[in-house]
């Protein structure tokens, strides 16, 4: 019985930490959270879409997305209530240094925030054969960027 009673305080501490991790930051101290989603909407799966994203202060990481796969990340304003700017490099090609197509641009900043939905907090980018589309309203994609060299067929 003493072993169980010794575990109870530890379990409460762990549950409290888990609760803090799952509470949306937007409900804590007025911090606004943003969700950024990137999806591979290419017409073929010959090569995965390779995505590498970061801001000035946060490295989101490298991701390989096959057709219809996506990744997302959640971030908040910086400590001075400024919107963080996120940049992504996109590449399609083999695992070596040979790429069929490439592009790089800011996927989130003060100009793209107004195109995001849910009170400008959810942003959705789709990579397609002819470029990159931003969801400017639910169900409406608007082409915002081209691949280097324009559109292509894989």
| 11-24 tens-digit pLDDT | 443 333 333 333 33
Contact of 33 with 76, CB cutoff 8 Å: yes
Where would I find the beta strands (DSSP E) of the chain? Answer: 33-40, 49-55, 59-65, 70-76, 86-93, 99-108, 122-128, 131-137, 140-145
> Residue written as tokens 């996120």?
86
Mean pLDDT over 47-70 rounds to 92
Q: Does the pLDDT of residue 54 top 90, yes or no?
A: yes
Specify if 153 maps to a domain: no
Mean pLDDT over 77-95 rounds to 77
Structural domain count of the chain: 1
pLDDT at 116: 73
pLDDT band at 26 (very low <50, low <70, confident <90, very high): very low
Average pLDDT, the chain: 75
3-state SS assignment for residue 36 = strand
Specify if 101 maps to a domain: yes
The rounded distance, in Å, linking the Cα atoms of 126 and 132 is: 6
Contact of 119 with 126, CB cutoff 8 Å: no
pLDDT at 27: 40
Q: What are the φ and ψ backbone dihedral angles of 143, each rounded to 5 degrees?
A: -65, 125
Higher pLDDT, 152 or 12: 152
pLDDT at 88: 94
Look up the CATH number of the domain holding residue 50. 2.60.40
Closest CA to 126 of 104, 141, 108: 141
For the chain, state the CA radius of gyration: 20
Specify if 7 maps to a domain: no
3-state SS assignment for residue 56 = coil
Token couple for 22: 């799952």
Specify if 38 maps to a domain: yes
Q: Does the pLDDT of residue 128 top 50, yes or no?
A: yes
Token couple for 36: 């950024």
Q: What are the φ and ψ backbone dihedral angles of 5, each rounded to 5 degrees?
A: -65, -30
Percent of all residues in the chain with a pLDDT value above 90, rounded to a whole number: 31
pLDDT at 39: 95
Residue range of the domain that includes 85: 29-145
Q: Does the pLDDT of residue 8 top 50, yes or no?
A: no
């Amino acid at each position: 019985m003493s072993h169980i009673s010794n575990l109870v305080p530890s379990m409460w501490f762990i549950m409290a930490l888990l609760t803090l991790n799952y509470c949306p930051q937007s409900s804590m101290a007025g911090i606004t959270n943003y969700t950024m989603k990137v999806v591979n909407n290419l017409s073929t799966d010959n090569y995965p879409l390779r995505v590498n994203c970061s801001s000035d202060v946060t490295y989101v990481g490298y991701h390989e997305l096959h057709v219809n796969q996506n990744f997302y990340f959640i971030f908040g304003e910086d400590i001075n209530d400024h919107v963080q700017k996120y940049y992504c490099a996109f590449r399609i090609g083999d695992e070596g240094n040979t790429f069929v197509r490439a592009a790089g641009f800011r996927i989130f900043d003060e100009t793209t925030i107004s195109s995001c939905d849910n009170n400008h907090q959810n942003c959705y980018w789709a990579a397609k054969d002819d470029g990159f589309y931003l969801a400017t309203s639910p169900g409406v994609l608007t082409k915002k960027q081209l691949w280097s060299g324009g559109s292509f067929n894989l």
